[in-house]
Amino acid sequence: MSLFHQFISYRRLPSSTTVHVLSHFRVSFRPSGPESTSRVSRLQMPKVSVILPTHNRAHLLVRAIKSALSQTFGDFELLVIDDCSTDNTREIVAGFDDLRLRYQRHSLNGGAGVARNTGIRAASGEYIAFLDSDDEWLPGKLREHIRTFTVTNLQNVGLTYTGSLTVVKGRSGTPRLAIHRGDVFRKVLISNIIGGASTVMVRREVLAVVGGFDASLPASEDFELWIRIAECYQVDCIPKPLVRIHQSASRPRLSTNYPALQQARERIFSKHRKRYMITGLEHDRALMIGHGYHFRESNASLARRWYLRAAKGSPRNFKAYLRIVSTYLPVAVLRPLIAVLRLMRTLRSLPVRTARPL
């Protein structure tokens, strides 16, 4: 077992597919049962491995796969990890005639984190990118990642990410620009400034150092991984929104399951408690958790408990007292004010361009 595979040590599921390393430059899937399909034996390792986990999203999978296969950068493999779907996912994948496409199916459903870790173990590329089955990439995404890794002026970059665009009922919302770069560890501890997995590409060796996704979390396993990566590596960004994040009321995303999100955030807070204490950000993170309860679940009492926790730990934190007071006001009054404050903060974070001398 290679050093890389030893480091990807989070929860593993029994699978009917066995990965056989044929030589130093050739990796292929060989089926050991009827639930596995081998699409190609790689004669040369690709530059990028794209990992696409899916579970019962056959009606969305075509869009995601097409967006990956339509990339202007073509040196990649696409690993579709079927997390024990009961729909026609297998047939959808079989309908694509592309040698870069590989398919592997779990015999048990384990969640997105488990599926991504399966893809990581099977990946042979120098870089690893993630694509959720309900998202889609713009054609130049992979090329922009590789270019950024190549020309960045930062040292020890382990992760690059792009902006994104949320699409609700076919209508595009406000783009989320990628603006944070460099040593972003403190920023990531407070909030997921990087975004979802579909926006990210990492060096494969980075995952050998920090490990894979924590599959024990009910949600936000990507955010937890970004914390570990940002602690050890610098991050660079591609400001343009190169990912479309699709949201639908009929098929809600895990990222909109707010009870699961809040449970995950509390567990992440507990898991990384020492990091929060060492950096002095424990109380800032408590405010963020309270904010989630307040505005996403409209649970003012739970929010107040977290705000009080922040105030007790940091009595001079004026924000904590404002948040406590806000829990006694209607959320409908507070939302427009919060939106304006966020916009102002984003504008202040944008780089200032100076005019060139004539």
Residue 114 lies inside a defined structural domain of this protein? yes
**What phi and psi, each to the nearest 5 degrees, are found at residue 90?**
-60, -45
- Residue 7 has what pLDDT? 44
- Residues contacting residue 269 through CB under 8 Å, at least 6 positions apart: 276, 285, 286, 289
Residue 7 lies inside a defined structural domain of this protein? yes
The last residue of one of the domains, among 237, 252, 267, is 252
**What phi and psi, each to the nearest 5 degrees, are found at residue 327?**
-70, -15
The answer on 136 and 92 residing in a single domain is yes
Which helix (H) or strand (E) element contains residue 85?
none
The answer on 212 and 154 residing in a single domain is yes
Q: For residue 319, which amino acid is it?
A: K
b/e sequence 331-354, b meaning 16+ C-beta within 10 Å:
eeeeeeeeeeeeeeeeeeeeeeee
Closest CA to 160 of 138, 140, 182: 182
Confidence of residue 21 (pLDDT cuts 50, 70, 90): very low
The answer on 150 and 32 residing in a single domain is yes
pTM of the model: 0.79
Here the CATH number for the domain that contains residue 211 is 3.90.550.10
Give the model confidence (pLDDT) of 187-212 as tens digits: 999 999 999 999 999 999 999 999 99
Q: How many domains does the chain have?
A: 2
Tell me if residue 227 falls in helix, strand or coil.
Answer: helix
Confidence of residue 262 (pLDDT cuts 50, 70, 90): confident
The answer on 146 and 72 residing in a single domain is yes
Q: Which domain holds residue 149?
A: 3-252
Q: Are 39 and 242 in contact (CB under 8 A)?
A: no
Give the model confidence (pLDDT) of 288-340 as tens digits: 888 888 887 788 988 999 899 889 888 888 888 888 998 988 878 787 877 77
